[in-house]
Amino acid sequence: MKKIGLVITAAILGGIITFSALKLTGSNQARIVKIEHLPNTASTVPTHYGPAAGEAFPPDFTGVSKKVMPAVVHIKSTRLQKFRDHQYRNYPDPFRDFFDDDLFRHFFGPGFRNQSPGQIPQEPRARIGTGSGVIINSDGYIVTNNHVIDNSDEIEVTLDDNRVFKAKIIGTDPSTDLALLQIKEKNLPSIPFADSDGVEVGEWVLAVGNPFNLNSTVTAGIVSAKGRNINILQDRSAIESFIQTDAAINPGNSGGALVNLRGGLIGINTAIASPTGAYAGYGFAIPSNIVSKVVEDLLQYGIVQRGYLGLIIRDVTGELVSEKNLKISNGVYVDSLATNSAAGDAGVKEGDVIIEVDGNMVRNTAKLLEIIGRHHPGDKVVLKIDRSGKKMDFPVTLRNQQGEEKMIKSDSEDILGVLGVELEEIDKQTAKFLGIDNGLRITKLYPGILQQHTEIREGFIITKVDGNEIKSVDQFKKYLEKKTGGVMLEGVYEDYPGTYYYAFGL
């Protein structure tokens, strides 16, 4: 069960503040979004001194707590569970004006059955989840965890001063469990990003959030470890390289901030290790350098542009050293090469051990994924390899998931983004098994029209749109880009009998 803690610190002690200035172009005019970064200098520990010279008391967290608490928010996400007859296929308002029940039975087939006369309609039941968020920009941009707002129909943000706003989802990244929201308000307090690479084990940190709906709670602890992979994210491209802390984190802290004593954001708290579901000693936060990259990509491109090496990897362990007769006991072992592998084409081979990326030591897969995940397709990195005891350098140009050295073309107006769906064409063997000619399988659903207005599930295979056969993702996109009004999807599930229909309006 995921639990999160939130810490925000805004004290700036010397140095020059830097900003990421992103120029975003929309339908009306370009705008600039500034993301603040603290300079990479060491944190200091504030202390109180007693009457005797040199008599040091415990660290004082009051100043930094006061500065960061106003930038920590409470998030409430609401999802409506709809109750329907088992055979009833819901259709939205745009279709009610054009079709009666008899016509729908003709369109859907004899299985269609609407609500019986006199039957009392069941109101949707609300499922409410709560978490925390961090304001990172004065114009209302807020970072939280994807699992806090996933599948929500409505998101409500409560500020530290108790003002309440509805929030819009700017973008999500399930691979890192991050989401970017925005509320319609200006001149808000925010927390600057700090360099998470510079965080040291043993360093004091604060966690600020809303555990158990207790607003603006601050806890203190130290960084217990870095580069932790706890296998909590289910996404196939998951990146886990958590900062581990013993600052108390509990349910409701999800999406909160982990900050250093200079008031810089070093992580977004995401999970706890607990046998009971409550704090039991350790929490885990997404490093701020990953957060910063995800935020900037979502703002600039609408999706996260992530580079890939194209390798199947695992940690080097004592057992693997003996099994493979390796000459090194730390690093990342290359099990195999993916199709169209960027690293493979650069000369990396199965059985190699990656020990450095651009001069940065990598002791495990978590650290390697973190470093590579902060790069874009087309970026160049240098891998240092141990091959049977011989050290070798390989320059690698990273590629996207499609195996190309370029950014993926996408923006917030892309029709798949509007629908909130990712699609793939099914293979001929699957089509033959299901008795269909072609189909597009829904591999991922995220907030959008389909999730909001239908009960379609991941795995649904679209065979027709408005009665027209669909053979490719491009054909699907081109058809809907020109479409207005009602749309009817027809298709099947691999694990359920029958044909299913889902209707929505554009």
The set of catalytic residues is 147, 177, 254
Beta carbons of 485 and 492 less than 8 angstroms apart: no
One-character DSSP codes across 290-339:
HHHHHHHHHHHHSS----B--EEEEE--HHHHHHHT-S-SSSEEEEEE-T
Beta carbons of 369 and 240 less than 8 angstroms apart: yes
User: What are the structure tokens assigned to 462, written together?
Assistant: 């679209």
Number of residues assigned to the chain: 506
Which has the closest alpha carbon to 295: 142, 101, 116? 142
Q: Name beta bridge partners: 445.
A: 421
Helix ranges, 365-423 (H):
365-373, 415-419
User: What are the structure tokens assigned to 438, written together?
Assistant: 């072609």
CA distances from 315 to 27, 203, 242, 333, 367 (A): 47, 26, 16, 6, 10
Q: Kindly report the backbone phi and psi dihedral angles of residue 93, in degrees, each rounded to the nearest multiple of 5, phi listed first.
A: -55, -40
Residues 6+ apart with CB under 8 A from 247: 5, 7, 205, 206, 207, 219, 220, 221, 222, 258, 283
User: What are the structure tokens assigned to 75, written together?
Assistant: 């998030």
Report angle CA 460, 410, 149 to the nearest 5 degrees: 60
Residues 6+ apart with CB under 8 A from 165: 140, 156, 157, 159, 183, 184, 185
Separation CA 222–CA 422 (nearest Å): 40
Which has the closest alpha carbon to 479: 492, 495, 491, 468? 468
Beta carbons of 45 and 97 less than 8 angstroms apart: no
Separation CA 12–CA 263 (nearest Å): 7
Beta carbons of 304 and 177 less than 8 angstroms apart: no
User: What are the structure tokens assigned to 259, written together?
Assistant: 């900050």
Helix, strand, or coil (residue 478): helix
